[in-house]
Structure 1
Amino acid sequence: MQFHLLRPRQRPFLFTLILMFFLAACNGNEPTPTPTATTAVIAEQPTDTPTAAPTATETAVPAPTDTPEPTNTPEPAYEPVFETAACQFDEPEGHDVTCGYLIVPEDRSQPDKTIRLHVAIFASESDNPAPDPVVYLEGGPGGDALEAMPFTFDDNFAPLLADRDVIIFDQRGTGYSEPSLACPESIEADLDIIDEVVPLEEEIDISLDAAAACYNRLVDEGVNLAAYNSLENAADVNDLRIALGYDEWNLYGISYGTKLAMTTMRDHPEGIRSVILDSPYPLSVSLTEDFPANAARAFDIFFAGCEADSACNEAYPDLETVFYNLTAVLDEEPIVVQASNFFTGDRYDAVVEGTDLMGVLFQSLYSAEIIPVLPQMITDSAAGDYQLLGLLLSNNLTNQEFFSVGMYHSVQCHEEIGFDSLENVVAAVDQYPQIADLLAAPELDFLLCNVWDSGSADATENEPVSSDIPTLILSGEYDPITPPAWGELAAETLSNSFFFEYPGIGHGASVSGDCPQSMTIAFLSDPTSEPDSGCMADMGGPAFAVPSDLSVADLTLVPFSTDLGIAVVEGVIPDGWEEQFPGVFVRGENGLDQTAVLQQGAPGVPADSFLELFTAQLGLDSDVENVGSYEDVNGRSWDLYASTLQGLPVNISLTESDEATFVILLIANNEDEQAALYEGVVVPAMDAIAIGE
């Protein structure tokens, strides 16, 4: 029974990743920069039923309380150092970023041994930025913040750059920080049995053996796992501010990042101008003991939301019954679904039992973009169509690449499980028999912590944090892991806080829509005033996806021009499709919409080289098949090819002219849409594509 407190990714990355690798190959670059030697210098300061009506509440007290004295903060016997270094991640295009490492003690009570945390400072777009940047605190615990930047920065963080710098770093034990507490042993153990039906007791033993192998390896490497906890993590946050030379900054945490933010507010309040707590995880709650009730609440809200939506209820009647009947069937007769790790390209035959389906639904309720597609996924799966289920399984597999399991174990075993009772967890599980599949093996966390010795936290780590620092608290109605009630609980002891619950969205409210994001930005501008919540009146339940027929008449084409580096390409694209990378456009109709078109042109590159590159980079399911030709309005002859990718239809159109070699790639959600998209998108694109000025 393990689910991590990560911010949701915007959507499954399949084609974003594949096309990014393709573009990197076209330009002769590797997807990930090679590390370079660092320069040791201190950096100068860088320039539940849907709610009837959304409400905002300010926690009021007769008079502001003084921020309590920090705990456990003796005078440091070291000086934190920031060294500039090359960015170890693919830098988002169009942004000025400085990278480096924060060097701090692994254990501040014994400061001789140091560790290195990878840091990225994104410069504000303003000519006169505010002096107080935003520092982002990733979820998990164990989430890798920087590796995901190419996929998340523009949507989630770039809007904050209008007025101030943004600092993002890999917390100790995660991502590109050194040492890494990643546990490939656990991932490999899971993948070894992904295509098998394994008895629960055996699966527990496999998990424990893998955790023990990772633990022993890290200890043999000299890692002090008892030092990887929120107390030391919060000290890292404060040391980063000192090393970078900022007098003040703003903390922005999502999920576990809120627990880290509150720990920092308690222990290091100096220099904190304001705090954003998105999907709060208060120190005083029990994630493990409350998990059954939180999951059941989210499931109930989801099914009630579809039933209350006339279009959803008509398209997917009796959805709750269909879902629970399907889980019962899968427990008796598991199915095999094709799933992939989009990041590595590895493909798997995944056995799906009832517990797996429940896990997919639970994990998917994190994402506001995926929630609208879940009724269709359930209904399709019950009818034997597993395409959407496979995409969600693939998304979960891919997200493992952005997570350091050892950091999760170290933090949770140190400061969560020690305050929990297996007896209480079992009693909580017994109250929700309908989701028993999701709550299997409640003893696993306790057994893992017997293996993973990371010490025990002081009782202070299980007590509410009191502070008068201005704080914005955001929660999502559908959040399955950190319910809105936890946001209200956090607000009770944060005297200058504003709490908002947003309808129709899940985990990570601030990155789940224009309204919460605009309110977040407004709060940063003036954290002592309640942000205008008028936009919440226009928010409702999820816009559940229902079946519809696509026709060419539905498509309006608009011109585009994009600089590929080797050439400027012009052409046409459907209105509203978003350019994620140069020449790569995605429809993004919902969180599982994989529809995308790539339009590229390269002077002097032979057509057969382009085709070979596609075949090598995309990892198509089969060899491309020549299915015909097309002569465009300019008299150019195009060779037409077809294949599939992860079971989705692919069209490739290729022509070699005096001007350049052009390629147009279309990926469709299904064969039903493929024909309409070919006629409405690909044919006009072949007619229009050209090299621009």
Structure 2
Amino acid sequence: MKPLPIMYRLGVAISAVFLLAGCNAEEPTPTPEPTAVADTTISEAPTATAEPTPAPTEEPTAVPPTNTPAPTATPEPAYEPTFAYTTCEFGIPGNRDVRCGYLTVPENRDDVANGRTVQLHVAIFASDSANPAPDPVVYLEGGPGGDALELVPLTFNDQFASFLADRDFIIFDQRGTGYSEPSLACPELIDLTLDTLDDDLTTEEGEALYLDAVAACRARLVDEGVDLTAYNSAENAADVADLRVALGYEAWNLYGISYGTRLAQTVMRDHPEGIRSVILDSTYPLAANLQLETAVNAERAFTVFFAGCAADPACNAAYPNLDEVFAQLVSDLNDNPITIEVYNLSDRQNYDALINGDFLVSVLFNGLYSVELTKIMPKLIYDVRDGRTTDLNALVSTLLYQQQFFSQGMQLSVQCNEEVSFSVPGETMPSTAYPYLNDIFEGGSVTGQFGFAVCDLWQSGEADPIENMLVNSNLPTLILAGEYDPITPPSWGQDVSEGLSDFYYFEFPGIGHGASVSADCPLEITQAFLNDPTTEPDASCIAAMAGPSFVAPLVAGDGAAIELEPFTNADFGISGQKPVGWEEVVAGTFARGASALDQTVIIQQAGPPGIGPDVFLNLLASQLGLAEAPAQSGDYVDGNGRSWALYNADFQGFPINAGFYEDESGLLVVIMISQSEETAVLYDAVFTPAMDALTRN
């Protein structure tokens, strides 16, 4: 799990001050810029690992599908795809061996003569094996519109590194996204979000502003010469096929999550040559109607979620009648919205955000994508009801940051072309169990009736009827589904399997969207399938899986169960104690990581002589946007007779406790960030013992 911005940037900043000061204590130390790191659990999912397995000994032959209607015949292509190696546009994670380049293909293959091209940024991650299998994995990003390579520094090691055991792993930015050119990103829509974050708009006002921003984005792209009708799954699939040829692979394995599965199906249909196997994770069928079915799909996931908490003794005890509490909270917030302060890591600014009931519904919907967020949702619901918004602040802050990793123009082009164009105005499929879902999705740009107005404006054309038909194929295919998935339900994976003659289908309890990167078991099954697509993977691990480990806050008496263990840090030359299981995310900074929203952290560091508490108090104020540095609140004499100066602060509802001990050797620092309802327990169980134990080596 990646830490969220508050505690991470504070830990980085303090570490930098100490380490720079240690290199040259006589020179003034500049205040470092915080490193931009955010949790990505809303779009995909947390860490999962698997043991490497041997490369396959037999490779099946890809056979073209036999029943899918063939696309209209086209003449021999009047172009040759080209690939040129360049530097990587993104930060390479760790010491990975990565080669990057650009694939150049026509923007519109039906009009090659116009000379317009697109350039797709591609990264080839080298296998860890000295003798890798000849068929790499090519990853197909979701969305549509997801920026794959911009997220690599944040996600690769957690989600994809294990695939390198036996094969190269290829990630690319699809046309219109990320570092590919042209980009169909719409900063106009991001600006609209930030400009109206604290506005209490009516539905009509919000839709009018959205259409204005869409019109501005469209006008700019058209002025730049972009053909919006050329950004669709058929062209996208042709890009994938051209990439394999340009890179010189005889065969490879397709691996798609979410929209990436729809793209994979299109490749299976149009370009089956050279495909050894296919992995469809969180499947989006071509024949599905996202515009019509989203509310009822969400209803199914909400029902699973509420039932999951009710069936969990600890969750039900802490958060009884969760469905009723949530429905009442949605109604109350729609009548009387609240305002919270959030932090946007993209521009490093604080914003006021208005939270009404409809927004809270979208928060829960997004939370069910990730098992790490799902397990915190009951607590978040009760917290908001009771006036505690620290988790909500963190989640909304993360959602704001994630906007920059998405090309909304690409999403509109694809969905308007091949989804909305097959829908019928006025046709609805409302949720009956949770009516509050209907307004949310009816007003969505591609999930309800408002989509017709958006697409009338965007004008990305209408797809061939084949884009709304079941794909038939005999390519070896693995289909994965998560029980809690709110957007691509397990039934969609089963629907796709009806057109496949050689497939394995697995559903996993307790997890949501992106099953293969959500837990060890689905990843192990995925790896086994890659190693031998002709043999059904051993799925016995599914029986050991359970529902989410729902989070409940610490209460009086829970501190006794927190076990401490010794640690040593060579960077600062210190030893001390930290709670068992807390991960060192930055030198001397230990995060609890109970969920994707957990900001709880203990920072233990040391500095050279000459740097007193005032340096760090001013840094604390600067990093967290406090009006002034905190004043001393008291003293603590530890078990060794040392007197620590104590300070308290608060940031967006997160209490911050700091202790400083200074002697001739320099400064020892202990800082704890926690949630208000847990501070008293953690103060005695973690913060005070940290001061008692921290020493120089």
Structures share a fold, TM > 0.5? yes
Which deviates more from structure 2 when the two are superposed, residues 628-637 or residues 73-82?
628-637
Q: Identify the residue that residue 391 of structure 1 maps to in structure 2.
A: 394
Letter in 1 for 2:590: F
Aligned to 2:90: 89
- Confirm or deny that 1:222 pairs with 2:225: yes
Aligned-pair CA distance for 1:29: 8.1
Instruction: Report the TM-score when normalising by structure 2.
Output: 0.85
Match of 1:40 in 2: none
Partner SS for 1:455: coil
2-structure distance, mates of 1:178, 1:31: 27
Q: Which amino acid is the alignment partner of residue 170 of structure 1?
A: D
| Aligned-residue offset at 1:662 | 5.2
Q: 555, 563, 580: which is aligned to 2:562?
A: 555
Inter-partner Cα distance in structure 1 for 2:103 and 2:663: 52
Give the 5 Å matches for 1:153-172: 153-172=156-175
Structure 1: gaps (5+ residues): 1-8, 34-62
Q: Retained in 1: the 8 A contact 2:299–2:433?
A: no
From 431, 435, 438, the counterpart of 2:437: 435
1:589 Cα deviation (Å)?
Answer: 1.2
Shift of 1:659: 6.1
Does the Cα contact within 8 Å between 1:64 and 1:496 map onto a contact in 2? no
User: Hey, what's the Cα distance between the residues in 2 that align with 1:470 and 1:503?
Assistant: 24
Provide closer, same or farther for how the CA distance between residues 129 and 570 of structure 1 changes in structure 2, counting only shifts above 3 A: farther
Of 497-506 and 235-244, the range deviating more from structure 2: 235-244
- Report the alpha carbon displacement of residue 142 of structure 1 after superposing the two structures with TM: 0.9
The CA deviation at 1:209 is 0.3
For 1:78 and 1:330, the matched residues in 2 are separated by 57
1:357 partner letter: L
Question: In 2 relative to 1, CA 625–98 (structure 1 residues): closer, same or farther, beyond 3 Å?
Answer: farther
Deviation at 1:313, TM superposition (A): 2.3
- How far has the Cα of 1:638 moved from its partner? 5.3
Structure 1 residue 31 displacement after superposition: 4.9
Question: Given that residues 256 and 279 in structure 2 are in contact (C-alpha distance below 8 angstroms), is that contact kept between their aligned partners in structure 1?
Answer: yes
Per-residue deviation, residues 35-91 of structure 1 (Å, max 9, x unmatched): xxxxxxxxxxxxxxxxxxxxxxxxxxxx99753497467543333333333333333
SS in 2 for 1:436: helix
| Residue number in structure 2 paired with 1:416 | 419
Match of 1:533 in 2: 539
Give the aligned partner of residue 674 of structure 1.
Answer: 679
* Contact 1:135–1:251 (CA under 8 A) maintained in structure 2: yes
State yes or no: 1:471 paired with 2:480.
no
SS at match of 1:573: strand
TM-score by length of 1: 0.86
Relative to structure 1, the CA distance from residue 76 to residue 655 in structure 2 (aligned partners, 3 Å threshold; closer, same or farther) is farther
1:99 and 2:100 equivalent? yes
Which residue identity is paired with 1:159? S
Give, in whole Å, the separation in 1 of the partners of 2:637 and 2:360. Answer: 47
Indicate the residue corresponding to 2:27 in structure 1.
none
Call closer, same or farther: CA 1:628–1:110 in 2, change over 3 Å. Answer: farther
Tell me what 2:515 maps to.
Answer: 509
2:347 alignment partner in structure 1: 344
Shift of the alpha carbon at 1:687?
5.5
Q: Are positions 1:239 and 2:242 aligned together?
A: yes
Q: Which of 584, 592, 604 in structure 1 is aligned with 2:589?
A: 584
Partner of 1:208 in structure 2? 211
TM-fit CA distance, 1:124: 2.1
Equivalent AA in structure 1 for residue 367 of structure 2: S
Offset of 1:591 from its aligned partner? Answer: 3.0
* Compared CA separation, residues 558 and 164, structure 1 to 2 (3 A): farther
Alignment of 1:566-645 (within 5 A): 571-601=576-606, 606-607=611-612, 611-620=617-626, 623-628=629-634, 639-645=645-651
Separation in structure 2 between the aligned mates of residue 136 and residue 24 of structure 1, nearest angstrom: 36
> How far has the Cα of 1:108 moved from its partner?
2.7
Q: Is the 8 A contact 1:629 1:640 kept in 2?
A: yes
Q: Which residue is equivalent to 1:665? A: 671
Query: 3-state DSSP class of the match of 2:116?
Result: strand
SS at structure 2 position matched to 1:488: helix
What are the equivalent positions in structure 2 for 1:482-521 lying under 5 Å apart?
482-521=488-527
Aligned to 2:44: none
Q: CA deviation at 1:340?
A: 2.8
User: Which whole-Å deviations, capped at 9, do the CAs of 1:385-420 have from their partners, x for residues lacking one?
Assistant: 333333333332222122111111111111111011
Measured on the aligned residues, the alpha-carbon RMSD in Å equals: 3.1
Q: 1:551 to 1:329 in 2, by over 3 A?
A: closer
The 8 Å contact of residues 621 and 628 in structure 2, kept in 1 or not, is answered as no
Structure 2 vs 1, CA of residues 689 and 78 (structure 1 numbering), >3 Å: closer, same or farther?
A: farther
Q: C-alpha displacement at 1:286, in angstroms?
A: 0.7
Mark the CA change 1:689 to 1:404 in structure 2 (over 3 Å): closer, same or farther. farther
Judged with a 3 Å threshold, the aligned counterparts in structure 2 of structure 1 residues 144 and 435 are, in CA distance, closer, same or farther, namely: same
Query: Match of 1:377, SS?
Result: helix
**Residues 222 and 485 (structure 1), Cα distance of their counterparts in 2 relative to 1, 3 Å cut:** same
- 2:430/2:438 contact within 8 Å kept: no
Q: Is the 8 A contact 2:309 2:315 kept in 1?
A: yes
Using a 3 Å threshold, how does the CA distance of structure 1 residues 616 and 129 change in structure 2: closer, same or farther? Answer: farther
What whole-Å deviation, never above 9, does each CA across 1:108-162 have from its counterpart, x for those lacking one? 3344223322222222222222222222111111111222223322221122222
Distance 1:511 1:245 in 2: 28
- Higher mean alpha-carbon deviation, 149-158 vs 387-396, is at 387-396
Show structure 2 runs of 5+ residues with no match.
Answer: 21-31, 38-60
- For 2:57, the equivalent position in structure 1 comes to none
The Cα of 1:612 is off from its aligned counterpart by 4.5
Q: Deviations over 1:156-193 (max 9, x none)?
A: 11222222222222222112222222111112112222
Deviation at 1:236, TM superposition (A): 1.9
Contact 2:229 2:460 in 1 (8 A): yes
Give, in whole Å, the separation in 2 of the partners of 1:136 and 1:599.
Answer: 39
CA contact (8 A) 1:474 1:501 kept: yes
State the distance in 2 between where 1:625 and 1:106 align: 61
CA–CA distance in structure 1, aligned partners of residues 460 and 625 of structure 2:
41
Evaluate the alpha carbon distance shift between residue 570 and residue 458 of structure 1 in structure 2; reply closer, same or farther with a 3 A threshold.
farther
State which of 301, 304, 309 in structure 2 corresponds to 1:298. Answer: 301
Q: What SS does the aligned partner of 2:145 have? A: coil
Query: May I ask how many residue pairs the two structures share in their alignment?
Result: 651
Tell me the alpha carbon deviations over residues 489-517 of structure 1, each in whole angstroms, 9 at most, x when there is no partner.
11111211111111121111111111111
Q: What secondary structure does 1:450 align onto?
A: helix
Give the drift of 1:561.
Answer: 4.7
Is contact 1:251–1:274 with CA below 8 Å preserved after alignment? Answer: yes
Aligned partners of 1:292 and 1:439 also within 8 Å: yes
Which amino acid is 1:252 matched to? Answer: Y
8 Å CA contact 1:121, 1:167 repeated in 2: yes
